[in-house]
Amino acid sequence: MGAAGDTENESGAQMVAYPGAQALYVDEQRTFIDALVGLSGDQLSIVIHKTGGTPNLAALASFFQTGAAEASTHFGVDLDGSIGQFVLLKDGAGGNCCLEVGHDTYWDSFSAKYGNLNRCTISIEHIDPSLTNSTTPPQAQLSASFALVKWLVDTYHIPISHIKTHASIDPVSRARCPGNYPMDELLTFLQNGGSMVPANWHDDGTTLTAPNGVAVRLGFRDYVLSHNWDAGNIPLAPEQGVSLLEASNPSLGGGSQQVFRMSMLAYTQARGVFLEWCGVELAFVRGQLATYYPQVKTLQAEVDSLKQQLAQQTGLDPAKVATFQQSIEISLKQAAQAVAQAETLAAQPIS
What pLDDT, in 10s, does the model give residues 191-212? 878 777 887 899 888 999 999 9
**Is there a single domain that holds both residue 238 and residue 293?**
no
| Same domain as 85, residue 111 | yes
Indicate whether 86 belongs to any domain: yes
Residue 253 and residue 285 in one domain: no
- Examine the domain organization and report whether 9 and 128 are in the same domain: yes
Residue 150 belongs to a domain: yes
Cis peptide before 178 (omega within 30 of 0): yes
Residue 228 belongs to a domain: yes
Kindly state whether residues 131 and 60 are assigned to the same domain: yes
122 & 265 share domain: no
pLDDT in tens, the chain (351 residues): 544 454 444 333 456 688 889 999 999 999 999 999 999 999 999 999 999 999 999 999 999 999 999 999 999 999 999 999 999 999 999 999 999 999 999 999 999 999 999 999 999 999 999 999 999 998 789 889 999 999 999 999 999 999 999 999 999 999 999 999 999 989 988 987 877 788 789 988 899 999 999 999 999 998 888 776 888 999 999 999 999 999 889 998 999 999 999 999 999 998 899 999 888 888 888 887 777 777 777 777 777 777 777 767 656 666 766 777 677 677 667 666 666 665 555 555 544
% pLDDT > 90, the chain: 59
pTM for this model (two decimals): 0.62
Residue span of the structural domain in which 33 resides: 3-191
Residues 271 and 331 in one domain: no
User: Does residue 351 fall inside a structural domain?
Assistant: no
User: What is the tally of structural domains in the chain?
Assistant: 3
- In this structure, is residue 112 part of a structural domain? yes
Could you count the other beta carbons within 10 Å of the beta carbon of residue 69?
A: 9
- Could you say which of 172, 191, 210 is where a domain stops? 191
Q: Are residues 129 and 166 in the same domain?
A: yes
Of 276, 295, 319, the position where a domain reaches its end is 276
Domain co-membership, 21 together with 158: yes
Q: State the Cα–Cα distance between residues 75 and 46, nearest whole angstrom.
A: 11
Please state, in angstroms and as integers, the Cα–Cα distance from residue 2 to each residue in 13, 17, 40, 61, 98, following that order: 16, 9, 10, 22, 23
Note the pLDDT tens digit of each residue in 116-175: 999 999 999 999 999 999 999 987 898 899 999 999 999 999 999 999 999 999 999 999
